[in-house]
Each structure stands twice: as structure tokens, then as C-alpha cells.
Amino acid sequence: MRRNELLTQFPTPFYLFDEEGFRGNIARLVEEFRTFWPEYTPAYSFKTNYTPAICAMALEEGCLAEVVSDMEYSLAKKLGCPDEKILYNGPFKGPLSRELFLGGGMLNLDSLDETRRICALAASHPERIFRVGVRINLDLGAGFVSRFGMSVDSRELRDAMEAIAACKNLRLAGLHCHIKAPRDPESWRRRAEVMIAAADRYIDGVPEYFSLGSGMVPGRYDQTAGEWADFKPSWHDFAEAFFGPFIARYGASAQRPRVFTEPGRALITRYVSLFAKVDSIKEVQDRFLATTDGSFQNMGEMCTMARVPVRVHPGGGETRYFDNLDIMGYTCLEQDVMFPAYAGPLAVGDIVEFPNVGGYSLVYKPQFMIPQCAMYALQADGSVRTLMRAETFDDVFAKFGI
Ligand SMILES: Cc1ncc(COP(=O)(O)O)c(C=O)c1O
């Protein structure tokens, strides 16, 4: 089956995943980054899009699993990922984080309270040696105070480091950070410098690992306009800036730290599209509106952050040309705008394709009004693989105990 046949044979709305593009993107990232730092590995951020088949592909491509909840940790384990290939981050960890810690996984501590609990856990197994990481709170001048990790100069961080040092069978193995902004290559250089300085201050010798979060957005979105319109750095630009401080500090070391980043958006965003059908078109007080069977709730944050180019697949209806039409979702919410100010041809029955909805989309979809739609992938042999079936009435209501 070809892509266009899919549109006529499968009921809308649905997501379409591009496996080849996704795998290729990871391969390019790894190739580019390892040219600068062979000890580099990406850790796929499960929460960004936790479709199990997609997570499994990321693992097959050599990614570690980056998880921030027991739910994601359980998924990683179900997919056969051993503890030592899992990074467990986040400000609120579930009880399974202790299992990961005892199993030799990488646990990055967010607070002094969590540090004390982990020290007590390590002390209750005096016969074994454990390792742990600590999250450093980053401020790269983006004008807000992040809630995550502990500040480099804070009393809390010093107390946490002392607690770890006082625990005979616990070793500080790595440092972690993540901040949502800024995201340009130069800020990644500063991120590396700040973290290396923190390691020099708190870790004797060379750390086992640095896990430096995410936020790299290479200019690979599909003609994205809006917030990222002029933002076009490549994986190469990021790698060149980011690894400079590592090469300067550890390039000549016999033992070099492993470096991880934790990409979510940058790996998956471009490789999922949403297809929705135009149900009606109308004019209300000079405002033209098309209502579709999809919703901004299927698209997630992308439709509020950037204007991606919609593609219209004609459905055979009577086409009109619009200068300024809002493409709306099915919900009873005024703010359900999937694409504002569309200009071009459109007809009832057309299928509108919204690209770049792989990140923070289906994982954010509430069970509001209409259950979640399916996700498919076109296989190389022309067959269609269902990565996620459509949600049913029972999926939504079984838990209520009528
Ligand atoms: C600790 C951590 N790592 C990685 C990510 C993934 O970020 P992104 O989806 O922007 O790539 C996040 C997102 O919030 C995060 O909190």
C-alpha cells in the first residue's frame, strides 16, 4: 500500500509514523556526535513519546532509556532494557527507582531529601557497592529559575555531596542536568563548561558519566515557522560546540567520561504526522472555519509553539479557496485551533495532514469527548503496521466501575 491509499482506506483521524526517518535521525546523531566524542550515547526520553514500538526502535538503534517515572521504567524493562542501560531522572521518583538503583542503573538525585533516602538504602546493603548521580540546577541566563536539581553553590548540594561521601558503599558516579532553554549550540557549550566545573569541584578524578539533558533542536523540522523559524543549527553544529569543553578537559585522559544527552523532541517530532478529515466549513461573522475530526489535543504543544506547513489531500469535494481560515478540532473548546489562518484550497472531505507532531502529543491526549485515535506505520513491503490501536469506549470507562 502507498501513503495515499492509506488515506482512503483507513478511517481518520490517525497518526502516521515514519520508521525509516526516525531510525535514520538517530543514526545521524550518533555518527555526528561520536566523531567528536566516541563515548557518546543518546538516551531517548521515553515520556516525549512512549509508544512502545517507537521506544523499542530507539533501543535497537543503540539509545539508552531515559525515564522519569515508574510507568516509563516498567515499559523500558518490559522492552528488555537492562537496568544498566536506563537513566532514571526527575523530581518525583516512584518506588521502582529503588529497584533500578539496586540493579545497577543510573539514578540521578534531584534533592537532598532523595539523597538521604538513597544513602539509607545503600547503607542497608553494606555488602555491596553502589553508584549514583546528582542533578545540578542550571541557570544559563534564560531568565527563569528552574525547579530541578540542586544549585552548584547551595548548602543543599554541599550537604548532599557530604551525605554521599559519608556513605561508605556509595560512589558519586555522574552529574546530570537538563533545562528547557536556551537551546542554541553556544548555550550547549556553556552547559558543558558549567557541568565540567561542577565535576571538578565535587568528584575526585574523572566522572563515570555526564548526562546533560535535552533541548537541542536541530533545524530538521519540516519548514517550521514561528518560534523556531530561524533556528537552523545541525547536529554537527551542536556537537562541535558541545564537545569542545570535554575535549579540552578530558581529551587526553586515559579514562574518558561517558557523555549522554536525553533527546525526545529532537528525535521524534518530525517523524509523526496527524491526518484529520474536514467535516464542515462555515463562515461566522467574517471568520472562516473548517471543523475536522481531529483536535489540537491529538497534536499536543506543537500547534501552539510553531506553525508547521499543513498539507491538504483532496477528498473529491467542491473546493474553494480561502485567504484566512482557521482549521479547528472536534472538541467543544473555543481554543481548539489546529492551524490558524490557513490560506489555500479546501473542501469538505479533504484530509489535512499535520506534520511534526511526534513529541508531547499522544502522551498528552486527555480522554476528553473522543477517545484517542490509532497510529500506523507504512512498512517497506507496503504493509501497514498498527503501532497503537484506536482507544475504545471500554478503555475509557472500564476503570470507573459503573
Ligand atoms: C530530564 C529530561 N531529559 C530529557 C527531556 C526531553 O526533552 P525534549 O523532549 O525537549 O528533547 C526532558 C524534558 O522535559 C527532561 O526533563
- Reported as a single tens digit per residue, the pLDDT across 14-28 is 999 999 999 999 999
Q: For ligand 1, what atom is nearest to the CA of residue 215?
A: 10
pLDDT tens string 265-304: 999 988 999 999 999 999 999 999 999 999 999 998 777 7
> 41 C-alpha to center of ligand 1: Å?
15
Each residue of 80-129: pLDDT tens digit? 999 999 999 999 999 999 999 999 999 999 999 999 999 999 999 999 99
| Residue nearest ligand 1's atom 13 by CA | 214
Q: What is the CATH number of domain 37-263?
A: 3.20.20.10
Ligand 1 atom, smallest distance to 68 CA: 1
- Structural domain spans, the chain: 3-15+270-400, 37-263
Check if 358 has its Cβ closer than 6 Å to any atom of ligand 1.
no
> What's the burial of 253, exposed, middle or buried (CB within 10 Å: 0-12/13-18/19+)?
exposed
**pLDDT at residue 231, as a whole number:** 54
Instruction: Answer whether 307's CB lies under 8 Å from 225's CB.
Output: yes
Does 245 contact ligand 1 (Cβ within 6 A)? no
Q: Is the CB of 45 under 6 A from ligand 1?
A: yes
Rounded Cα gap, residues 293 and 275, in angstroms: 9
Does 183 have pLDDT greater than 90?
no
Distance CA 401, CA 396 (A): 11
Ligand 1 touching residue 213 (CB < 6 A): yes
Whole-model pTM over 0.75 = yes
How many angstroms is it from 379 CA to the middle of ligand 1?
29
Distance between CA 133 and CA 119 in Å, rounded? 12
Nearest CA to ligand 1 atom 6: 264
CATH class of the domain defined by 3-15+270-400: mainly beta
Count the neighbouring beta carbons within 10 Å of the beta carbon of residue 392. 11
Question: In the block, which residue shows the cell 529497584?
Answer: 99
Report whether residue 215 contacts ligand 1, using a CB cutoff of 6 Å. yes
The candidate with the shortest Cα–Cα distance to 249, out of 210, 193, 296, is 193
Ligand 1 centroid – CA 160 distance (Å): 24
- Ligand 1 mean position to 309 CA, how many Å? 25
